[in-house]
Structure 1
Amino acid sequence: MTEKVDKKKISEFIQYFLNDTSDISDKDLEIYNQALTHSSSSGSNNKILALLGDSILNFIIRSSLINDNPDFGNGDITKQCQVLESNENFRNIAIELNIIDYMDIDNGTLNNPTFNSDNEVVNATAFEALFGAVYLCIGWSKTAELVDKYVLGKLN
């Protein structure tokens, strides 16, 4: 968690996250870097990618729940979604992945006594943005695979 994170460190984290050691193009690395850039930093940040990632996560989670649980009614699906799609859940997964260690966060924010590394909004937003970036860089299939691994896999 520094103001500027080394591109090699980001690349290694993304390879770990994707479970793929293939080289990442400079264009894709810029998108992943944006996903890991807090709004306190200058330039592009992760807010728009988080918006996209949130929608993608919600769609994949809901589709999977409906397909995997044909006997579930609307109330059952809604209860599961409230847990799986929550900022708290996304924060917890982001903390397990140490996402904040790879983020570009302004020093003023980092040095603020009220800021802490388990901040729910910062972690959840970065997690959502990462999924927006994966979708843009690799596509739907890999994104769905990662949602299954990191979010839906917790159900089993």
Structure 2
Amino acid sequence: MFGIFPNNIELYKLAMIHKSASIVLEDGTTMNNERLEYLGDAIIEGIVSDMLYVEFPFKDEGFLTKLRSRLVSRRTLNQLAVSIGLDECVITQSSFNTAGKHLYGDAFEAMMGAVYLDKGFDFTNRLLINKIFGKYIDLEKIMETETDHKSRLIEWCQKRHKRLTINATLNEEDKKHSDDDSHHFVAVVNINGKDCGFGVGASKKEAEQRASQNTITKLKIVI
């Protein structure tokens, strides 16, 4: 995998052992991938932080933090693990139900932890940035998803079978008193008959996005 020639193959084997299939040694030591997962999590976050800092020299801390959280989220790491075939390598107890779990993303973190211990930070950095993120991650698409609050809200409501309406109307009072003939739209997000968020913008689209963002923030929605 990745063209790696391991110095210590046992590290990579351990990275694929889920805790449900833990190996207990004679001295009582439990062997699974949780420690490597812990290490890999820190390594990935550090590498991604550095990558984004270099890639976006004029973006503020808030932007970088939000984008990093998307890149290192369990959802993203799960998808990466499947893309590179790790899902076929993870060892679990036969009765373990993998549905809805993040064990593949956990295994991805463990694998990066193993690579780091076996090959060092520089090798892990090049592997993650050039061979994995460079091939399987579309930064522009992730950024669009991050800023398209309306689509995120629609997706969240659809998954939970909630009725959603987002109505934007022209604020005639603002237009009447505006010196530069500009106008404003006011958008309201309604979920299951209840107004949940509001937003104002110079265009209908902008107002809807702000209202959706307001709703996501107020309801503490994680997508």
TM-score range, shorter chain: 0.7 to 0.9
Runs of 4 or more above 4 Å deviation: none
Whether contact under 8 Å (1:61, 1:152) holds in the other structure is no
1:38 corresponds to: 18
Higher relative contact order (CA 8 A, sep 6+): 1
Which amino acid in 2 is paired with 1:137? D
Q: Does 1:141 align with 2:122?
A: yes
Aligned length: 130
Map 1:50-61 → 2, pairs under 5 A: 50-61=37-48
2:183 corresponds to: none
Stretches of structure 2 that go unaligned for 5 or more consecutive residues are: 24-30, 141-223
Question: With structure 2 as the length reference, what TM-score do the two structures score?
Answer: 0.55
Q: Does 1:122 align with 2:95?
A: no
Whether contact under 8 Å (1:35, 1:126) holds in the other structure is yes
Which amino acid in 1 is paired with 2:52? L
Question: Matches of 1:60 and 1:99 in 2, distance apart?
Answer: 20
Of 146-155 and 55-64, more deviation after overlay is shown by 146-155
Question: Matches of 1:69 and 1:42 in 2, distance apart?
Answer: 42
Structure holding more helix per residue: 1
Question: Matches of 2:54 and 2:102 in 1, distance apart?
Answer: 30
Which amino acid in 1 is paired with 2:120? G
Matched position secondary structure for 1:107: coil
Whether contact under 8 Å (1:91, 1:120) holds in the other structure is no
Structure holding more strand per residue: 2
Question: Matches of 2:59 and 2:101 in 1, distance apart?
Answer: 30
Question: Matches of 1:61 and 1:121 in 2, distance apart?
Answer: 20
Question: Matches of 2:87 and 2:18 in 1, distance apart?
Answer: 9
1:150 corresponds to: 132
Which amino acid in 2 is paired with 1:89? T
2:156 corresponds to: none
Question: Matches of 1:30 and 1:55 in 2, distance apart?
Answer: 21
Question: With structure 1 as the length reference, what TM-score do the two structures score?
Answer: 0.77
Map 1:70-81 → 2, pairs under 5 A: 70-81=57-68
1:10 corresponds to: none
- Bigger Rg, structure 1 or 2: 2
Whether contact under 8 Å (2:78, 2:104) holds in the other structure is yes
Q: Does 1:96 align with 2:83?
A: yes
Stretches of structure 1 that go unaligned for 5 or more consecutive residues are: 1-15
Which amino acid in 1 is paired with 2:109? E
Provide Cα deviations, 1:50-81, integer angstroms capped at 9, x if missing partner. 10000000001001111221101011101211
1:83 Cα deviation after fit:
1.0
The alignment-based identity, stated in percent, is: 29
2:92 corresponds to: 105
Which amino acid in 2 is paired with 1:123? Y
